[in-house]
Amino acid sequence: MATPLSADRLLAVLHAAGVTVVEHPGWRTHHRNHKGPWGPVHGVMIHHTVTKGTANTVRICHDGYAGLPGPLCHGVIAKDGTVHLLSAGRANHAGLGDDDVLQAVIAERRLPPDDEAATDGNRSFYGFECENLGNGQDPWPAVQLLAIEKVSAALCRAHGWGSASVIGHLEWQPGKTDPRGFSMDTMRRRIAAAIDPEPEPPKKPTPPPPAPVRRPPFPGRGAFALGQSSAAVEQLGKQLVKRGFGKHYRVGPSRQWGEADRLNVAAFQRSHPQLRGAADGYPGPLTWHLLWN
C-alpha cells in the first residue's frame, strides 16, 4: 500500500531517472478525483494508444472522448521517448479488472489469468499510454521502450516496489491486448535490472608513477681513465645496460674502466644530438646527466 506521489515528487523522480518530460498545462490539477478515490497505489500499468502522431495522441489522452472523459492516463510516452505529463491524480486508464491480479501485484507474485472485471483499477495504478497503433506492425523505437523502462523503474524505486508491480492492460482486464508489440515479461526483466542494476566491477587501482631515477653525482673525469676502478664506473655501466647501450660488454659491467665502457658510452653519445659532437666515449657532466635523465 502506498500513497500516490505528489505532482512535484512525480516530476522529480522522472527527472532523476533521466526521462525527458513535457508538462502539459494544468496537469497538476487535471484528474478524476471527484469520481472516486485516488490511492492507495499498488503499481504501474502500461497501455498502447491506437493513435498516430504525438500531438493528436496527447490531445486525446488529455481530453478523452464521448463516454470516457480525460485524463486517460498520467502520462503519454511518445515514440521519441518524451513523457508528456497529463495528470497527477486519478485517471481513466485502467477501468475494471481482476481482483486476483491486483492481489498478485500487491504480493509481487506471478500474475494469474485475468478472467473478471469487477475491481476499480483507476484508484490503484499509475497509467502510461504509449503512442502506438497497436496493430502488431507499428514499430516500438528503442528510445520509447527505454522510456517505458525508465518511467516504470523510477516509480517502483520511489515506492519500494519490484518489477512485478508493473503490468500491461492486457494482464488486468479481459479482452484487452495492450501493449501489443513487445513482451511485458521482457519489459519487467529490463525494469528489474534498472531498479537494482548490477554494481560496476571495481576499478583497477591506478599504479603509482615510477619512482624518479636517482642520479648519482658526477665523479669527475678522472674516474674514467684506463684502469681506474670505482663504484661510479660500475654505476655507469649498469645504467648503460639499462638504457640499451651495453652490447660491448662480454659479461657485464665491472668497477674497472675499460674499452668496452668507452665504446658503450660513445654509442650512447651518438644517440643524442646534444652529444654527437663529442662522442669520444668519455663521459662528461652532460653525458652523465643525460644518461640518468
- Output b/e per residue, 40-54; b: 16+ Cβ within 10 A: ebbbbbbbbbbbeeb
Based on the fold, state whether residues 61 and 158 are members of the same structural domain: yes
Query: Domain range spanning residue 230?
Result: 221-291
In a domain? residue 282: yes
Based on the fold, state whether residues 38 and 151 are members of the same structural domain: yes
Based on the fold, state whether residues 68 and 168 are members of the same structural domain: yes
**Cβ–Cβ under 8 Å, residues 4 and 41:** yes
pLDDT for 106-148, tens place per residue? 999 999 999 999 999 999 999 999 999 999 999 999 999 999 9
pLDDT for 218-251, tens place per residue? 999 889 988 889 999 999 999 999 999 999 998 8
**Cβ–Cβ under 8 Å, residues 49 and 169:** no
In a domain? residue 16: yes
Residue 209 has pLDDT above 90, yes or no: no
Based on the fold, state whether residues 29 and 172 are members of the same structural domain: yes
The C-alpha angle with vertex 21 and arms to 19 and 24, in degrees rounded to 5, equals 160
In a domain? residue 140: yes
Give the separation between CA 254 and CA 237, rounded to whole angstroms.
Answer: 7
Q: Find the CATH number of the domain harbouring 47.
A: 3.40.80.10
Of 53, 50, 58, nearest in space to 74 by CA:
58
Based on the fold, state whether residues 21 and 93 are members of the same structural domain: yes
Quick one: pLDDT band at residue 1, thresholds 50, 70, 90? Answer: low
Query: Taking the complete model, does pTM exceed 0.75, yes or no?
Result: no
Q: Find the CATH number of the domain harbouring 275.
A: 1.10.101
pLDDT for 82-101, tens place per residue? 999 999 999 999 999 999 99
pLDDT for 187-207, tens place per residue? 999 999 999 876 777 888 888
In a domain? residue 276: yes
